[in-house]
Amino acid sequence: MRGHWSLDDRLELMLREVPFEVPAGAAAVTVRLSYDRSQGVLDLGCGSPSGFRGWSGGARDEYTITEDWATPGYLPGAPECGTWHVWLRLHRIPLHGLDYTLEISTETVAPPEPAAEEPPHGERRARRDIPDIDGMRWFAGDFHAHTLHSDGSLTIAELAELAHGRGLDFLAVTDHNTVSHHPWLAKIDREITLIPGQEVTTDRGHANVFGDVGWVDFRRPADSWVEHAEEAGGLISVNHPLGGDCAWLLPINRRPRVAEVWSSGWWDRRWGAPLAWADAWRDDVIAIGGSDFHNHGSDGLPGAPTTWVLAEDTSTVLDGVRAGRTAVSAGPDAPLLLRLGDELLALDAGGLVLVRPDGARQLIRDDRALIPAGEGPHRLETHENEVMALCE
């Protein structure tokens, strides 16, 4: 199939569904997309008569679906006969338009699954000396990371090993607009809890949905994402709300309480806009952090920033977030501010300034200090107003 997309096409309907037929007895379906990537971006996905079958966005030009395996980002399962659709989102179209070609083939014998190597298992960093509270512990983690199942460069095992080596206890794997990674998370034995997630991704805003809640349809309005998460027992957070061309611009009536206030894109933390946005979003916002890791050198490493959650164990981390028991630091070993009942524990914070909800400022003289706590969020800053830690 050959075609041409214009700017008018994009403005009329951004997500296009190109139909094709799969005959009875097909054991594999393969789709190949080609266009001039120097001129534009087309996002790629798939739907079958049974519904969603996968999404890879602009990260791939080809996918294969068989009964036993599928290209990362896509769901394995018998290719049922009937009308399928190639999903094409017209993400970037130049003024003169964009030509494209689709090559679609079916096979009666499925090709073999590509082999994958497991990374070696290494040591974890030593845990920080943080006291337990009423049978609960502060766990270190990251709520935003990607793998080969969308536009990341690492396998799930490689990502888990990297996060484990950096001292994280949990990691949310939040590939774009797909849940193909979910069945694999529990099979990864790397001494780290992998939380299923999906980054619901549009060109006007991104949100992470956490929990094994099934696929969230990014084509629907943002309020439906909130409803889906709540009805299925998950959580939703608004991602990098001031993140340039990924900033949150979507209309929404029910603003999620959880928000990725601290992302790796907050590189100059003297800039107070993320905190001002959180204050304007909701007066009871629960701040979390996310590295948005894709590959080495492009984003923060897993745990940069680190979100700390007070929970009974890593299987109840999302319950801890719901209860607002969170804190955020620049990294696993960075200065840290945690709530211990009626007190705040400041770690590696000597010379920093505690900023209270009313704006009062207090110099912390010792690297480890217990300080009376008030209600509301507190933070640590340098004398140059660079944010070093957040605590709900």
Any residues with CB less than 8 A from the CB of 390 and at least 6 apart, and which? 261, 262, 287, 289, 327, 328, 329, 337, 377, 378, 379
Average pLDDT of 194-206? Answer: 97
Pick from 58, 65, 70: nearest CA to 22: 65
Q: What is the pLDDT of residue 89?
A: 98
One domain for residues 261 and 203: yes
One domain for residues 181 and 299: yes
Average pLDDT of 25-29? Answer: 98
One domain for residues 93 and 166: no
One domain for residues 210 and 167: yes
Last residue of a domain, one of 67, 88, 107: 107
Q: What is the pLDDT of residue 380?
A: 98
Average pLDDT of 107-131? Answer: 92
Give the residue with greater pLDDT, 174 vs 375.
Answer: 174
**Residue 73 within a domain:** yes
One domain for residues 210 and 316: yes
117 — pLDDT class (breaks 50, 70, 90): confident
Average pLDDT of 312-333? Answer: 98
Q: What is the pLDDT of residue 374?
A: 86
**Residue 387 within a domain:** no
Q: What is the pLDDT of residue 298?
A: 81
Q: What is the pLDDT of residue 93?
A: 98
Give the residue with greater pLDDT, 299 vs 239.
Answer: 239
Any residues with CB less than 8 A from the CB of 93 and at least 6 apart, and which? 5, 6, 7, 9, 10, 40
Average pLDDT of 67-91? Answer: 98
Average pLDDT of 342-362? Answer: 96
pLDDT at 151 over 90: yes
pLDDT at 84 over 90: yes
| CATH code for the domain of 69 | 2.60.120.380
Average pLDDT of 94-111? Answer: 98
Q: Could you report the per-residue pLDDT of 130-150, keeping only the tens digit for each?
A: 999 999 999 999 999 999 999
User: Count of domains in the chain?
Assistant: 2
Say if CB 270 and CB 385 are below 8 A apart: yes
116 — pLDDT class (breaks 50, 70, 90): confident
* CA neighbours closer than 13 Å in the CB half-sphere of residue 297: 1
Q: Alpha carbon of 392 to those of 218, 258, 285: distances in Å?
A: 30, 12, 9
**Residue 344 within a domain:** no
One domain for residues 54 and 155: no
**Residue 361 within a domain:** no
One domain for residues 199 and 296: yes
Q: What is the pLDDT of residue 181?
A: 98
Q: Which domain covers residue 309, as residue numbers? A: 137-334
